[in-house]
């Protein structure tokens, strides 16, 4: 029997993924596939592996010092190092791809073509193959060859222009949303293509651009521009079309309040003991509240600043008004809700973020298989896919 990781039992059990991707967008997508039961073979550069093996934060684990960055998005995968320009490992690589359901890569457009590992070439060998390419700007268009990292795409997508305080400079959100968006869309596209293949027997080529993915997240700001032709301004923590929907200062710290309709606004005013706000003509509708959001915020804060945040939150919660403290990362990850939802799990003895996909038919284990050591699975993979002459391949 071939020694291999034991991924969590899930709906993708039995699926074989050959993963050429590195750093975040691609590995994030294949991590989700692995978490749901797929077998993922990660192809890495000889000697150094995925760049993210050298990215912090670092933590000492049972068998040495590890990058939590790498451990998180590569848990439960197998590792094989391959010089893609060399012919030495090409038979092993092709033997795996011939049996694969999915190939994922995030090289610059044209690289896999030059290597002879493009979709057209591989689909001729394996017609059912689902092949996903992730790039900064996609496989077409004038920017297709432009190199990109998350911050570059955030800057070019308009996201940074609308993030930050009104009088401040453009800001990058605190998480790599372009990478994550690209990974999430890739995961969804792969599962959709697999469903299509189950019906037609034919695979598919998937072209995901981080740029497209981030543009799709513009939502309210993008829709506002398309409707009016006016560039959306930076408005801090406020909403682009709803008020009150912002952060508000209390006596000790700020809270978020989201009263997104007339019913919630009336409840909010009753909690604040400010009935005159309900009858104020400026605040009679969401449109009016949005147009006068600065005045409304000042009216609300004049009352909120008289008491501590926790006092207000207790009353707002009882009234059913959506609200929250602004938690730091430690408070968020250490909170009872995160624990109840198993959003912090362990992989190879290391704490990592959990999987938000919960399914009634499958477990959501608190212990996940570890990320692989570099080239850790070479011997097993050779034995499985290139057995000695006269010996059948391992199923």
DSSP string covering 153-220:
HHHHHTTGGGSS-TTS-----SS-HHHHHHHHHHHHHHHHHHHHHHHHS--EEEEEEHHHHHHTT-HH
Which of helix, strand or coil describes residue 329?
helix
How many Cβ atoms sit within 10 Å of the Cβ of residue 281?
Answer: 8
In the predicted model, is pLDDT for residue 298 greater than 90? yes
User: What was the pLDDT predicted at 5?
Assistant: 54
Output DSSP code: residue 244.
Answer: S
Residue bearing tokens 């070479």: 378
pLDDT at 2 over 50: no
- The model's pLDDT over 329-386, given as tens digits with 9 standing for 90+, comes to 999 999 999 999 999 999 988 899 999 999 999 999 999 999 999 999 999 999 999 9
Neighbours of 64 (CB within 10 A): 7
Tell me 234's DSSP state: P
- For the question of residue 239 being annotated catalytic, the response is yes
Token pair for 286: 């969401």
Q: Choose, from 66, 239, 292, 346, the residue flagged as catalytic.
A: 239
Percent of the chain at pLDDT exceeding 70: 95
- Average pLDDT in the chain: 94
The per-residue pLDDT for 393 is 60
Smallest CA-to-CA distance from 180 within 31, 11, 352 is with 31
| pTM assigned to the model | 0.91
Per the CB < 8 A criterion, the answer to whether 206 and 135 are in contact is: no
- What Å distances lie between residue 192 and 138, 186, 195, 199, 314, CA to CA? 19, 10, 5, 11, 43
What is residue 60's predicted lDDT score, i.e. its pLDDT? 80
Strand pairing of 64-67 and 58-61? Answer: antiparallel
Selection from 130, 132, 268, 150 nearest residue 201 by Cα: 130
How many of the other CB atoms lie within 10 Å of CB of 203?
Answer: 22
| Residue 1 pLDDT | 35
Burial class (CB in 10 A: 0-12, 13-18, 19+), 39: buried
Question: Cis link prior to 111 (omega < 30° from 0)?
Answer: no
Please write the tens of the pLDDT for every residue from 214-229: 999 998 889 989 999 9
348: left (phi over 0), alpha (psi -120 to 50) or beta: left
Could you tell me the CA-to-CA distances from 386 to 83, 96, 124, 126, 376 in Å, in that order? 18, 9, 21, 17, 17
Handedness of CA 262, 266, 272, 277 (dihedral sign): positive
Domains of the chain: 16-217+339-385 (3.40.50.10540), 245-249+254-325 (3.30.1540.10)
Candidates 88, 220, 113, 117; CA nearest to 163 is: 220
pLDDT at 64: 73
pLDDT at 6 over 70: no
């Amino acid at each position: 029997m071939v020694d291999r990781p034991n991924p969590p039992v899930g709906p993708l059990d039995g699926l074989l993924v050959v993963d050429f991707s590195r750093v975040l967008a691609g590995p994030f997508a294949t991590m989700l596939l692995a978490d749901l039961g797929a077998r993922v073979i990660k192809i890495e550069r000889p000697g150094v592996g995925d760049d993210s093996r050298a990215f912090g934060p670092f933590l000492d684990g049972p068998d040495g010092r590890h990058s939590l960055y790498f451990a998180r998005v590569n848990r439960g995968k197998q590792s094989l190092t391959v010089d893609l320009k060399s012919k030495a490992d090409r038979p092993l690589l092709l033997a795996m791809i011939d049996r694969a359901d999915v190939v994922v890569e995030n090289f610059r457009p044209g690289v896999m073509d030059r290597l002879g590992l493009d979709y057209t070439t591989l689909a001729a060998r394996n017609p059912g193959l689902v092949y996903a390419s992730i790039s900064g700007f996609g496989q077409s268009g004038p920017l297709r060859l432009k190199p990109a990292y998350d911050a570059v795409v955030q800057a070019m997508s308009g996201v940074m222009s609308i993030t930050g305080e009104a009088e401040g400079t453009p800001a990058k959100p605190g998480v790599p949303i372009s990478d994550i968006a690209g990974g999430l869309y890739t995961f969804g596209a792969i599962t959709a293509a697999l469903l299509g293949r189950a019906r037609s027997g034919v695979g598919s080529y998937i072209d995901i651009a981080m740029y497209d993915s981030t543009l799709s997240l513009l939502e309210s700001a993008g829709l506002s521009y398309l409707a009016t032709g006016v560039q959306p301004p930076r408005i801090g923590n406020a909403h682009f079309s709803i008020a009150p929907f912002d952060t508000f200062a209390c006596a000790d710290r700020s809270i978020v309040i989201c009263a997104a309709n007339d019913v919630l606004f009336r409840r909010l005013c009753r909690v604040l003991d400010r009935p005159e706000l309900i009858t104020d003509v400026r605040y009679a509708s969401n449109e009016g509240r949005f147009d006068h959001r600065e005045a409304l915020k000042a009216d609300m804060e004049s009352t909120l600043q008289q008491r501590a945040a926790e006092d207000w939150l207790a009353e707002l919660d009882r009234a059913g008004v959506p609200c929250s403290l602004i938690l730091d990362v430690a408070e968020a990850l250490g909170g009872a809700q995160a624990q109840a939802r198993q959003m912090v799990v362990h992989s190879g003895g290391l704490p990592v973020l959990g999987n938000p996909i919960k399914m009634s038919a499958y477990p959501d284990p608190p212990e996940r298989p570890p990320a692989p050591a570099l080239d850790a699975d070479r011997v097993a993979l050779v034995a499985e896919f290139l057995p000695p002459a006269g010996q059948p391949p391992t199923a």
